[in-house]
């Protein structure tokens, strides 16, 4: 089970606009400036596939630098046009398995890709971590096949890297079901070039459609899709009125890591930011408490923390469940009560 990631962070409206992206469309990376390409005599991979550094097996670890090496390779994942120097490692798979190829701890904007012994591309990643460092997850390898790991940089970036290749051991899949008391979101299915006229909120210009939640148990669907402009995510925008007592409590869980945002100011044209946020899922709940005048509207946002589907597909949907201290349903609206329905 992945470790629960739950945050409750009060932000200023100016700061929130920088810290969180409310959009449904992925954005291109900014241009970067890099230092002079100077050789650093650390131990590292070979200059090309022909002199690639051999790794003894899996797991494998190494450190090194791409500074002072040649630009020999490039792949689209999703950015192309790299002129950065790159280095190469190689290993022979000890068995059929899945591995993670991880550059966590590297000091520059990395890019990593893997070829098989026929030089066919197996996998590629540019930005896995928020600091633009790369990681390939769940890459399948076959017993006895030789693989080449190319450590590269975005655009002209280079520097010191850390390489770790370990077996990927998957968590049990997270599956949520809508409780019997749940009210369904009923948004149309996602599709290529999807236009969210259901609850796309400020991400759907002109109409700005919001959905009202008035039930204590709400079952929604979010996900990922592609458009002519690239990767996109389904963002659900809701209006919920503060109940008696002046505090709205929302507890959520999702099959994929998901943001819950309280938003403000409530004006799509003037610009809206994040007041507080909680990360929920997969199968890891979190709770947000929102204070306000009784009956006043709260703008509430639910959507993936990423723009890319966890399985790498162009179209992916997943379920989430919200429990709220509103409505008139008589069922137990605690997670203990809800989960008991499926035991």
Q: What is the pLDDT of residue 282?
A: 95
Q: What is the pLDDT of residue 318?
A: 98
> What tens digit of pLDDT does each residue of 1-43 get?
333 233 233 333 223 333 577 777 776 665 555 444 444 444 5
The Cα–Cα gap between 98 and 120 comes to 17
Q: What is the pLDDT of residue 6?
A: 31
User: Cβ distance 189 to 301 under 8 Å?
Assistant: no
Per domain, the residue ranges of the chain are 13-26+173-340, 49-158
Is a pLDDT exceeding 80 seen at residue 174?
A: yes
Instruction: State residue 108 phi and psi, 5-degree precision.
Output: -145, 180
Q: What is the pLDDT of residue 35?
A: 47
**85 vs 44, residue with greater confidence:** 85
pTM of the model: 0.59
Residues 99-103 have a mean pLDDT of: 96
Architecture of domain 13-26+173-340: Sandwich (2.60)
**56 vs 336, residue with greater confidence:** 56
Residues 196-220 have a mean pLDDT of: 96
Instruction: State residue 27 phi and psi, 5-degree precision.
Output: -115, 150
Q: Taking all residues of the chain, what is their mean pLDDT, rounded to a whole number?
A: 86
Q: What is the pLDDT of residue 211?
A: 98
Residues 102-129 have a mean pLDDT of: 95
Share of the chain above pLDDT 70, in %: 84
The β-bridge partners of 258 are 280, 304
Each as own residue / partner, the long-range contacts of residues 167-172 (CB below 8 Å, 24 or more positions apart, any chain) are: 167/58, 167/59, 167/97, 167/98, 167/99, 167/100, 168/97, 168/98, 168/99, 168/100, 168/137, 168/138, 168/139, 170/98, 170/138, 171/1, 171/2, 171/282, 172/1
User: Cβ distance 254 to 220 under 8 Å?
Assistant: no
Say if 13-26+173-340 and 49-158 have the same CATH topology.
yes
Q: Which two tokens stand for residue 324?
A: 């709220």
The Cα–Cα gap between 332 and 72 comes to 61
> What tens digit of pLDDT does each residue of 242-295 get?
999 999 999 999 999 999 999 999 999 999 999 999 999 999 999 999 999 999
Architecture of domain 49-158: Sandwich (2.60)
């Amino acid at each position: 089970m992945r470790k629960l990631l739950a945050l409750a962070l009060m932000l200023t409206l100016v700061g929130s606009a920088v810290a969180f992206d409310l959009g449904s469309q992925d954005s291109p990376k900014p241009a970067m400036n890099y230092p002079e390409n100077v050789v650093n005599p650390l131990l590292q991979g070979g200059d090309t596939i022909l002199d690639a550094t051999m790794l003894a097996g899996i797991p494998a670890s190494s450190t090194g630098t791409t500074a002072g090496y040649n630009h020999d390779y490039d792949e689209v994942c999703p950015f192309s046009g790299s002129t950065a120097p790159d280095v190469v490692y190689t290993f022979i798979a000890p068995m059929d398995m899945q591995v993670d190829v991880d550059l966590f701890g590297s000091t520059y904007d990395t890019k990593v890709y893997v070829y098989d012994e026929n030089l066919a591309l197996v996998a590629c990643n540019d930005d896995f971590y928020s600091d633009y460092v790369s990681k390939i997850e769940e890459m399948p390898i076959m017993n006895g096949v030789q693989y080449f790991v190319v450590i590269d940089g975005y655009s002209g970036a280079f520097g010191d890297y850390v390489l770790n290749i370990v077996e990927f051991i998957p968590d049990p899949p997270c599956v949520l079901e809508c409780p019997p008391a749940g009210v369904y979101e009923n948004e149309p299915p996602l599709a290529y070039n999807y236009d969210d006229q259901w609850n796309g909120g400020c991400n759907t210009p002109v109409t700005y459609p919001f959905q009202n939640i008035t039930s204590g148990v709400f079952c929604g669907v979010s996900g990922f899709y592609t458009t002519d402009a690239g990767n996109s995510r389904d963002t659900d925008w809701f209006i919920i009125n503060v109940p008696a007592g002046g505090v709205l409590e929302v507890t959520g869980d999702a099959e994929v890591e998901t943001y819950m945002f309280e938003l403000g100011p409530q004006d799509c044209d003037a610009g809206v930011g994040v007041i507080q946020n909680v990360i929920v899922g997969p199968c890891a709940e979190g709770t947000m408490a929102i204070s306000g005048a009784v009956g006043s509207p709260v703008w509430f946002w639910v959507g993936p923390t990423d723009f890319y589907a966890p399985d790498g597909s162009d179209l992916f949907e997943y379920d989430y469940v919200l429990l709220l201290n509103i409505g008139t349903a008589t069922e137990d609206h605690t997670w203990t009560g809800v989960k008991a329905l499926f035991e």
